[in-house]
Amino acid sequence: MRSYSQELITKIKKKKVNVSIFGVGYVGIKLVLALAKKNCNVSCFDKDDKKIKQISSGISPFSYISNREIREVKKNIIFQKNLREISNADVIIMCLPTPLYKGKPDLSHIKNCWDKIKNYIQKGQLIILESTTYPGCTEEIFIKYLRNKFFIDKEIFLSYSPERENPGDSQFNFKNTPKVVSGIGNNSLKICDNFYKLITKKTVRSPSIKIAEMSKLLENIYRSINIALINELKIATTKLDINIYDVIKIASTKPFGFQKFFPGPGTGGHCIPIDPIYFSWLSKKKGVNVKFIELSSKINQIRTKWIIKKLKAIAKKISNPKILLLGLSYKKNIEDTRESASVKILEDLLKQNYKIDYSDPFNKKITLNYRKKRKFLFSKKFDKKIIKKYNLIIIATDHDKFDYSILKSSNKTIVDLRGKFKNIKSKYIYQL
Ligand SMILES: NC(=O)c1ccc[n+]([C@@H]2O[C@H](COP(=O)([O-])OP(=O)(O)OC[C@H]3O[C@@H](n4cnc5c(N)ncnc54)[C@H](O)[C@@H]3O)[C@@H](O)[C@H]2O)c1
């Protein structure tokens, strides 16, 4: 009898594998490049034509990926429109967005994509979901259709492998971060494991798809709660006149049982503000209230509001305040402004009619919803000359590209939300 699993494993081991990837965003692009580098044939599908056009002409739409990285492997990448082409794929991977809609998981991107491609699925293919989602979701979406058409885990293979991408991180990358793999059965697990071994040093086999899905949520719930904790402690220690950065430094000398987290203006990105809600939504459906998760989301939002309130009080002390906000991205050295607390601060101050500009080398332009209209703002170049025009500078996101020494000698009022001036005591510097 024909063994589809053995055939697929043989192809993978010979690196003669055709891969189709849906969603070439922050997560998908890394996968595309890693596989293309290993000489796999990679077909990319993305509904954002502008992005595909850029990548296909060798231009990176992402700050942390160079044009060179794309150009080096472009010969192994095909940019596809024709969905029928997935019939030729050995492995199909979805790296699609999983946002929230009205406080609930929005799986429309995955479901719409699946509806369009499912009729082209062939025996012998492995389907992998990489998007972050709640436990049970992968099976809910794919299994009914597949079961009607194929023998699961014999003719068709289904896996979930959560992504641990940390854009902009120079230490941990695709290669040296262990990759969790799971499968609907032993064959799916084995194929998935072999597949990711092509591009990562270490894989970790999860006992089930549900455990793998939940493990990803646990990682992000853990971050959300610890960020909320340190953000709340920052508010309290500010009142107590205790430098939280010194506290973290001392506490982190403990070699076990403590991991350091730093305060900031709130959370952002496509993970921390969203993924924990996937779990609290699911728990609520089962009648369990997961209070920690909800509290951490709330505290992270309160932190942004607290900062805005403090900023207004500081601005009141300045006659005719002219504000320059540094950094719009939700974290440093990348361009991602999704759910960014810095953007919320900018929007709020604009709505209150403050004179405010921003500087962000990764975001030359930003579109805001302002009084029911779209408003475009353009980044100011941050240099000695430009800061003369402002009397209040907010360090919202601490990109390494900013020359902070300009600020040190400026005598401007500075509101530091990232601890850049944590060791400087000055009446001009507010550590919030
Ligand atoms: N960004 C991160 O750091 C990160 C880290 C780990 C996990 N994740 C998870 O990975 C998933 C993807 O996140 P991302 O940050 O890469 O999102 P993204 O928005 O950067 O990329 C998703 C891409 O999918 C495309 N797309 C949407 N619907 C499509 C469709 N039907 N067909 C083809 N393309 C379609 C979009 O145009 C976009 O380019 C999410 O579930 C997220 O939670 C993200």
The full set of domain ranges for the chain reads 4-207, 230-431
> Ligand 1: which of 33, 163, 174 to mutate, most ligand atoms within 8 Å of CB?
163
Sign of CA dihedral 144, 148, 152, 155: negative
d(CA 109, CA 358): 32
Q: Which residues of 305-314 are buried (b: 16+ CB within 10 A; e: fewer)?
A: ebbbebbeeb
What tens digit of pLDDT does each residue of 119-137 get?
Answer: 999 999 999 999 999 999 9
Q: Does 339 contact ligand 1 (Cβ within 6 A)?
A: no
Cα dihedral across residues 263, 266, 268, 271: positive or negative: positive
Average of per-residue pLDDT across 342-357: 96
**Does the structure show a pLDDT above 90 at 373?**
no
Rounded Cα distance between 36 and 148, Å, is 33
pLDDT at 291: 95
Nearest CA-CA partner of 396 in 415, 376, 370, 368 = 415
* For ligand 1, atom 1: residue with the closest CA: 26
Could you tell me what percentage of the chain is helix, strand and coil, using 3-state DSSP and rounding each to the nearest 5?
A: 40, 15, 40
Q: What is the pLDDT of residue 382?
A: 95
Contact 186, 5 (CB under 8 A): no
Ligand 1, atom 11, lies closest to the CA of 131
Spatial strand order of the sheet with 179-183 comes to 77-79, 41-45, 18-22, 91-94, 126-129, 157-160, 179-183, 203-205
Model pTM score: 0.95
Residue 165 Cβ < 6 Å to ligand 1: yes
Return d(Cα 131, Cα 161) in angstroms, integer: 8
Per DSSP bridges, beta strands 157-160 and 179-183 are antiparallel
Q: Is the pLDDT of residue 370 over 90?
A: no
Distances (CA, A) of 44 to 53, 82, 275, 428: 12, 10, 25, 51
What pLDDT shows up at residue 173? 87
How far apart (Å, rounded) are the C-alpha atoms in residues 432 and 82? 52
pLDDT band at 43 (very low <50, low <70, confident <90, very high): very high
Confidence band of 226 (pLDDT split at 50, 70, 90) = very high
Q: Over 80: is that where the pLDDT of 396 sits?
A: yes
pLDDT band with cut points at 50, 70 and 90 for residue 64: confident
Please identify which residue in the block is written with the tokens 């353009």. 378
Specify the residue with its C-alpha closest to ligand 1, atom 34.
Answer: 46
256: left (phi over 0), alpha (psi -120 to 50) or beta: beta
**Is residue 372 over pLDDT 80?**
no
pLDDT tens for 166-187 read: 888 889 988 899 999 999 999 9
The Cα–Cα gap between 369 and 397 comes to 21
> E strands of 316-372, at which residues?
322-326, 355-359, 365-370
Question: What dotted CATH number matches 4-207?
Answer: 3.40.50.720
Which pLDDT belongs to residue 341?
97
Distance 209 CA to ligand 1 centre (A): 20
- What average pLDDT does the chain have? 95
Ligand 1 contacts CB of residue 105 (under 6 A): no
What is the average pLDDT across 308-329? 97
pLDDT of residue 282: 97
| 177 alpha carbon – ligand 1 mean position (Å) | 19
Query: Judging by beta carbons within 10 Å of its beta carbon (0-12, 13-18, 19+), is residue 359 exposed, middle or buried?
Result: buried
4-207 shares its CATH topology with 230-431: yes
pLDDT of residue 174: 83
State if residue 330 touches ligand 1 by the CB under 6 angstroms criterion.
no
Q: Cα dist. 40→14, 43, 164, 325, 425 in Å? A: 10, 10, 22, 44, 56
133 contacts 102 by C-beta, under 8 angstroms: no
- Ligand 1 midpoint to CA 408 (Å): 39
Cα 166 from Cα 241, distance rounded (Å):
33
Q: How far is the CA of 159 from the CAs of 129, 212, 371, in angstroms?
A: 6, 10, 45
Pocket lining: 98 vs ligand 1, CB cutoff 6 Å: yes
* Least confident interval from 69-83, 136-150, 359-373: 359-373
pLDDT value, residue 296: 96
* Best residue among 31, 32, 47 to mutate for probing ligand 1, ranked by most atoms within 8 Å of CB: 47
Rg of the chain on CA atoms, in Å: 24
Across 12-23, average pLDDT: 95
pLDDT of res. 147? 97
Enter the CATH code of domain 230-431.
3.40.50.720
Catalytic residues: 271
Nearest atom within ligand 1 for CA of residue 48 = 37
Nearest alpha carbon, ligand 1 atom 21? 25
Distances (CA, A) of 181 to 160, 217, 289: 6, 15, 29
Look at residue 59 in the predicted model and tell me its pLDDT.
95
Residue 104 CA, ligand 1 centroid: distance in Å: 17
Alpha helices by DSSP H, 38-130 = 49-56, 67-73, 108-117
pLDDT at 31: 96
